[in-house]
Amino acid sequence: MTKKSILEKLGLVELVEEKSPEAEIIEEEKVEETVVVPPVIKAQAPSEIEEKLDVLIESYEKNKFLSIDEVYRNKNLDKDVKQSIFIAEVFMKALPENLPIDIKRKSTLNILDASGLKKEDLLNDAYIRIDALNTVLEETVAKTAELKEKNETSVRELEERIEILKRNVEERYEFEEKQTSVIEYEIQRVINIVDGIK
């Protein structure tokens, strides 16, 4: 038995073995050797392949752990720190820690202005990032709930099946006991008759 390629396992291709004309001639001459041509791949329609790949990719992506960088990259938010909300964090950390919050805030805004960065653009970047992160979070929670429900249903079905099998075993033991009792009684009865006529 030959190993299946990944494409065969996914049902995207099907192997078809064809015998060469030489093999047919040899068979006609009743020689035991057969010549087999390498398998020919029978391809499926492109739309079928695309559908199967889409399902596989979607399933993989839903179960793939994403780093924060990957979340941002998927939403095209992996731009330079200098153009993102994180530049404000850099400026805030550069200021002395013992500054009052209001002064720290005003100083940061002044540095942003001096750098030619607009507060609105940075806030917009922040909102887009929060939205992207929330989307991944919601999808993760939804997928987990879906998986939990599906698996709990399977567990319940298996538990019911286990109970049925246990009952079947108990019923069989009861049957065995009853059958054994009747047979043993009859054996003893026949033995007693035999003893009586010996």
Of 6-20, 89-103, 130-144, which gets the smallest average pLDDT? 6-20
Q: How many residues does the structure list for the chain?
A: 198
Say what percent of the chain tops pLDDT 70.
72
pTM of this prediction? 0.52
Query: CA torsion angle for 140, 144, 147, 150 (degrees, to 10)?
Result: -130
Please tell me which of 8-12, 15-19, 149-153 the model is most confident about, judged by mean pLDDT: 149-153
| Residue 31: pLDDT band with limits 50, 70, 90 | very low
Q: pLDDT digits over 49-90, tens only?
A: 777 776 666 666 667 888 888 888 888 887 778 888 998 899
Q: Report the pLDDT averaged over residues 91-120.
A: 89
Which stretches of 43-116 are DSSP H helices?
A: 46-62, 68-74, 86-94, 101-114
Can you give the residue ranges of every domain in the chain? 1-63, 65-164
Look at residue 19 and tell me whether its pLDDT is greater than 80.
Answer: no
Instruction: Name the percent of the chain lying above pLDDT 90.
Output: 40
Q: Residue for token digits 């698996």?
A: 151
Count of Cβ atoms closer than 10 Å to residue 135 Cβ:
13
